[in-house]
Amino acid sequence: MQSLLNEHVLVLNRHWTAVHVTTARRALVLLYGDHAKVVTEDYSTHDFGSWKELSLAAESIKMITTPTYQLAIPEVIILNQFHKFPPRQVKFSRKNIYIRDNYTCQYCGRQPSKEELTIDHVVPRSHGGKTTWENVLLACVRCNTRKGSKLAAEAGMTMLSKPVKPHWLACSQFHVQAANTLWQKFIDSAYWNSTLQE
């Protein structure tokens, strides 16, 4: 049950905008305290009482068991009062570059160990390239050595994707994939990959 309580739950503000990712434990506390409601596939919302009843009929394998009832782990909750929007800045850090590029070399597509990955400048610093979201990407040691201080095209290489500043949620401290189909209703690929202005 401990691991189920650590499941990720998407949190929406009262305007139905994704603002956070939390644990199932915290989501259930918010639900029980009447600070949030569970959102289901058909966009209906449920307070603790109706979610408890719905859990009786649910075929979810993600259930926690209490001494008197079973409760399904919600996938998405909506806060009753919170109306603010998420922070729009993503910290430019080595960790967030690794998360953005999915720990994958952006030239050969390999996912070597963290120690075998380096940060490459698309336009090398020797050519005036800056250290910005749009000019750095992950490269394995082999590809970075092959590219050297050239542009990728000059080295006969191509990038798998163009480096961009990621959306705040993609680099949140609860970094998770938006593979959950219910999450996709609130966070589509354009939302995840949109470039944010400074």
Distance, in Å, from the CA atom of 198 to the CA atom of 67, rounded to the nearest integer, reads 51
Say how far residue 28 (Cα) sits from the centre of its chain: 21
Task: Please report the pLDDT score of residue 65 as a whole number.
Answer: 87
Q: Answer whether 170's CB lies under 8 Å from 194's CB.
A: no
Alpha helices by DSSP H, listed for the chain, are 2-5, 24-32, 48-57, 94-100, 141-147, 181-184, 189-193
Task: Please report the pLDDT score of residue 58 as a whole number.
Answer: 79
**Dihedral (C-alpha) 91, 94, 96, 102: value to the nearest 10 degrees?**
160
Task: Please report the pLDDT score of residue 83 as a whole number.
Answer: 66
Task: Please report the pLDDT score of residue 44 as a whole number.
Answer: 92
In the structure encoding, which two tokens stand for residue 167, read together?
């959306």
Given the candidates 3.30.70.3170, 1.10.30.50, 3.40.50.150, 3.30.420.40, the CATH classification of the domain at 94-147 is: 1.10.30.50
Task: Please report the pLDDT score of residue 197 as a whole number.
Answer: 41
Among 173, 171, 172, 167, residue whose Cα is nearest residue 187:
167
Q: Answer whether 118's CB lies under 8 Å from 146's CB.
A: no
Q: Answer whether 99's CB lies under 8 Å from 177's CB.
A: no
In this prediction, the residues of the chain whose per-residue pLDDT falls under 50 are: 173-175, 177-178, 189-198
In the structure encoding, which two tokens stand for residue 105, read together?
């070399």
Task: Please report the pLDDT score of residue 198 as a whole number.
Answer: 36
Domain borders along the chain are 2-86+171-190, 94-147
